[in-house]
Amino acid sequence: MSNSLDTKKLEREVKSMYQEVAVSADAEFHFETGRDLAERLGYDPDTLTYVPDEAIDSFAGVGYYFDLAALEPRERVLDLGSGSGMDSFYAAMNVTETGAVTGVDMTPQQVEKATSLAADNGFHNVTFREGYIEELPFEDGSFDAVISNGVINLSAEKDRVFEEANRVLKPDGRLALSDIISERQLPESIKTDADLWAACIGGAEQTDDYTGTIEAAGFELLELRENTQYEFISEQAANACGKYGVKSISLSARKQ
């Protein structure tokens, strides 16, 4: 079993890294964080002015997908791996006071921070729950749209994540996300390295496998595009990108 991924260690690594993102956004990571990153990826600066600064500071997304999500007023939205709440608050600006956004994250410090930011900034229609995206604590057909940014690659059970996303969506519900994938098969040495998983590298699936998993869960893939504005900043992560074609994509799909 020495060449398999230690999923318990992975969970500890991921929680530890994103706990640090929650409390110290200016620490050094394999990835960028903050407002400059968000604006470069495509987030609207005017909308960002309404998002709590502390949520933006801890933003660690890998792409922009809100144009694909096409969120409307009155819709109910679920944010998988919501972190400090940046995308949840941004989504709330799209669905307005008439809609509702729920974020789910497994890192207690992130949920606590996001919940405080929602209360302190008057986001009465945004709530956060501690939980796992592989086992969502919600009823079937609860949401109009499921969104996620740079998180699903961290899961060792991506099939479960997409099956759960499909389950909690209403008929014809939408999935819109950004994530990290690879053009070539990653070697076992990377795939079994919990540090590189936590850095969004080790869990990157090949594009066809990733989209195949989405379709197998009951979705019709609508659009997929590469996010050329995103890049990893550590040398270790950048090397993996160059060698194996690890990159950021955004996509949309519809529940069939």
pLDDT tens over the chain, length 256 residues: 335 666 676 667 666 655 565 555 555 545 678 899 999 999 999 999 999 999 998 898 999 999 999 999 999 999 999 999 999 999 999 999 999 999 999 988 889 999 999 999 999 999 999 999 999 999 999 999 999 999 999 888 999 999 999 999 999 999 999 999 998 888 787 777 766 666 667 678 899 999 999 999 999 999 999 999 988 777 777 777 788 888 999 999 999 9
pTM for this predicted structure: 0.88
Residues 6+ apart with CB under 8 A from 158: 152, 203, 205, 210, 213
What are the φ/ψ torsions at residue 32 (nearest 5 degrees)?
A: -80, 160
104 strand-pairing partners: 80, 129
Strand segments, DSSP code E, in the chain are 76-80, 100-105, 126-130, 143-149, 169-182, 205-206, 219-226, 247-255
Give the residue from 142, 153, 177, 210 showing the smallest Cα distance to 66. 177
